Amino acid sequence: MVEYEDQALIVVFKALGDPGRLRIVTLLGQQGVTRVTDLAAQFDMSLNAVSKHIKVLEKADIVKRQVTGREHLIALKPTFHLIIQDWLKRSQNLWQQRLDQLEQIFDQTKHSEGSSS
């Protein structure tokens, strides 16, 4: 199961690794559901280029698109950040274990130096 989660995490990080896509996600977080044309108006790139970035975000399961007639509305998926949160929690647990081990070693060294004096 971790392998699947790690693969999903890689896809999310790759999608967010581009400054334009990260900005799209940030804007969607601030503005909520937004038309593609309104998003594109906030960038110094073509509508086609913004659409390509949105497609990458869709494949990464970060955003969803709703088409109504000729209007394309884009919204953040409310759960994409859970993949990142889970990874951060696992990383935090790992580092906490390592710090606890280091503290034990320090305490053992301190006690052995104190008893030899």
Q: How far apart are CA 43 and CA 63, in angstroms?
A: 18
In a domain, 55, yes or no: yes
Q: Report H helices in 32-79.
A: 36-40, 47-59
In a domain, 11, yes or no: yes
Strongest mean pLDDT among 42-51, 73-82, 92-101, 108-117: 42-51
**How many domains, in total, are found in the chain?**
1
In a domain, 13, yes or no: yes
pTM, entire model = 0.72
CATH number at residue 66: 1.10.10.10
- The pLDDT, as a whole number, for residue 18 is 97
In a domain, 90, yes or no: no
Reduced to 3 states, what is the DSSP secondary structure of residue 75?
strand
pLDDT tens, residue by residue, 18-59: 999 999 999 999 999 999 999 999 999 999 999 999 999 999
Domain that residue 49 falls in: 2-77
In a domain, 38, yes or no: yes
